[in-house]
Structure 1
Amino acid sequence: MFDITTLSAADTSIVELVGGDDAPLYDDKGQRLSITVYGPGTKIYQRAQSRQQNLLVDKIKKRGKMDQSAEEKLAEQAEFLAACTVSFNGFTYPPAEGIGGAALFRKAYEDPAIGFIAAQVSNHINDWANFTKSSGQS
């Protein structure tokens, strides 16, 4: 019999960043800029997703509808992505100087001027293929 658990998803994956023009991003030493994230097979991701869904349900209960402002959507996405982020690799986010961890990640993901980063992380994190052991991404 085949042990299906040998196909388990990796806990983390690395998102190699590209700019708004789809060109790869590098630091001043020529290293790729990237972000390490937790994947959908982890409890961390599942808790973050559950929090996001609970917030949505609460809003529907309070307002009786699902209307959200652009700012609310951005904040919720930033919160989810920050909770699932392990690290920023090769770069800093100076506007959030003095803070770290999820608070730093959230500030960066909320910044519309670098919104292409949140979009990439969101697309990557929600694709199981990026966390398969055969993908070479982990």
Structure 2
Amino acid sequence: MAFDITRRRALETATIDLKNGDDSPLTDDDGKVLSVTVHGPGSKVWRQASAEINRRKAERLQKAGGKLAASLDSAKEDQVEFLSRVTISFNGWEYPGTGNDREMFAAAYADDSLGFIRDHVHAEVHSWEAFTKGSAAS
């Protein structure tokens, strides 16, 4: 009997341990690793967020008469919006002074002094690696 490849489906969500800008684990004052839980590329939430960002990019490109530079001006804004939509939780940390979770996610990802978190999570959430670990058990 052939192997059932569906046993290797990617997980819909994963927890990503955060890293400092120097690639070391990002920890709290007690040494506990901080993380985020996110929807992955195989999830409906991720696909919807990606489609919405792509629609916005296409609209900006069209409004700019096809000039790519105008579309690229909103790259950070697009990253923040995408990550805010696919993030489920911050684990072991928060971003103070915000309302609901989505606002907190957006504020944290938009903070340029924490850009290393935004860049790390953005890279991880666009990679299948975190979502295929242990997928045989799913």
- TM-score, normalised on structure 1? 0.88
Runs (4+) of structure 1 moved beyond 3 Å?
A: 68-71
- Output the CA distance in 2 between the equivalents of 1:70 and 1:113: 21
- 1:82 maps to what in 2? 84
**Matched residue type, 1:93:** Y
- 1:56 maps to what in 2? 57
Q: 1:123 and 2:117 equivalent?
A: no
Residue segments in structure 2 that go unaligned for 5+ positions in a row: none
Q: Could you tell me whether the CA contact under 8 Å between 1:36 and 1:85 is conserved in 2?
A: yes
Q: Could you tell me whether the CA contact under 8 Å between 2:11 and 2:131 is conserved in 1?
A: yes
Q: Could you tell me whether the CA contact under 8 Å between 2:37 and 2:90 is conserved in 1?
A: yes
- 2:20 maps to what in 1? 19
- Output the CA distance in 1 between the equivalents of 2:72 and 2:89: 26
Cα RMSD between the aligned structures?
2.1
Question: Equivalences for 1:1-138 in 2 at 5 Å?
Answer: 1-64=2-65, 65-68=67-70, 72-94=74-96, 97-134=97-134
**Matched residue type, 2:69:** D
Question: Once the two structures are superposed, what CA deviation does each residue of 1:31-79 show, in whole Å capped at 9, x if it has no partner?
Answer: 1101111100000000000001000110111111222477621111100
**Matched residue type, 1:121:** V
- Output the CA distance in 1 between the equivalents of 2:3 and 2:20: 42
Shift of 1:24: 1.2
Question: Once the two structures are superposed, what CA deviation does each residue of 1:65-123 show, in whole Å capped at 9, x if it has no partner?
Answer: 222477621111100011010100111112xx241222210111111100000010011
What is the count of residue pairs matched by the alignment? 135
- Output the CA distance in 2 between the equivalents of 1:15 and 1:70: 27
- Output the CA distance in 2 between the equivalents of 1:114 and 1:133: 27
- Output the CA distance in 1 between the equivalents of 2:72 and 2:5: 42
Q: Could you tell me whether the CA contact under 8 Å between 1:56 and 1:66 is conserved in 2?
A: no
- TM-score, normalised on structure 2? 0.88
